[in-house]
Each structure stands twice: as C-alpha cells, then as structure tokens.
C-alpha cells in the first residue's frame, strides 16, 4: 500500500481481542455518542447525510502500555447498525459498526495466542 495508512486505534478487553484474533468476531462496536461521532464521522458533510471517515486499518490493543498484545486488522467499512449479541456481551442495540477484514500484523502475543 502506497502512502501513509490511516489507522483507527482502539483498546479492547481480552475477551473481544481474542475473538477477533481467532477470526470469530468480524465486527467491533462503539456507542452512538458524541465522542465516537467525532472520531468516526466526517464532519464536513451536509446536514442529515452521514459520511464515515475512511480507515485502512484498525490497531487493536489488549491493555495499555508499550508491550501489550496488539494486532492490525483491515478496516472494511464503518457504518451504523445493530450489534450481534454474541459479539457484544449479550447486547443487541444500535451502534457504530466497524467491519473487519483480515489480520495483517500481530505483536507481543504469547505463543498460544498466535492466529493459526
């Protein structure tokens, strides 16, 4: 990929990190709140039209600090939609939905955590 890649950086609990790492979880969810609106929507659009920011990758970290488990995953698209309850702690609600593609890089994983 030429040029600088645009990366959305998110921190996850181990349960969700492991589900994405295994390939089971294909979406990540964020609440529809002003904080996420500023991070995920392009504010230069017309009223009542939502354009989402374009990200090439999502960097997921499991915890805070320098040497925590990390993975880069393709960001296929961002939109609004209902969550899959098994990927969202049993909650089915309206969220920002970040659709995920393949894992392109991992760092600081233990041997038993590495994707097959």
Identify the pLDDT of residue 114. 65
- Residue 50: the pLDDT is 86
Where do the structural domains in the chain lie, given as residue ranges? 7-107
* pLDDT confidence of residue 38: 92
Q: How far apart are CA 112 and CA 8, in angstroms?
A: 26
Give the integer Cα–Cα distance in Å for 51 and 24. Answer: 28
| Residue pLDDT, tens place only, 58-87 | 999 999 988 999 999 999 999 999 999 999
The CATH class for the domain spanning 7-107 reads mainly beta
């Amino acid at each position: 990929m030429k040029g600088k890649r645009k990366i959305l950086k998110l921190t996850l609990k181990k349960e969700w990190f492991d589900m994405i790492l295994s390939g089971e979880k294909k979406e990540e969810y964020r609440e529809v709140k002003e904080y996420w609106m500023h991070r995920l929507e392009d504010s230069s659009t017309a009223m009542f039209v939502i354009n989402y920011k374009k990200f090439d990758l999502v960097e997921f970290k499991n915890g805070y600090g320098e040497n925590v488990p990390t993975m880069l995953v393709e960001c296929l698209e961002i939109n609004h939609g209902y969550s899959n309850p098994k990927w969202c702690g049993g909650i089915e609600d309206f969220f920002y939905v970040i659709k995920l593609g393949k894992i392109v890089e991992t760092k600081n994983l233990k041997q038993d955590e590495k994707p097959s």
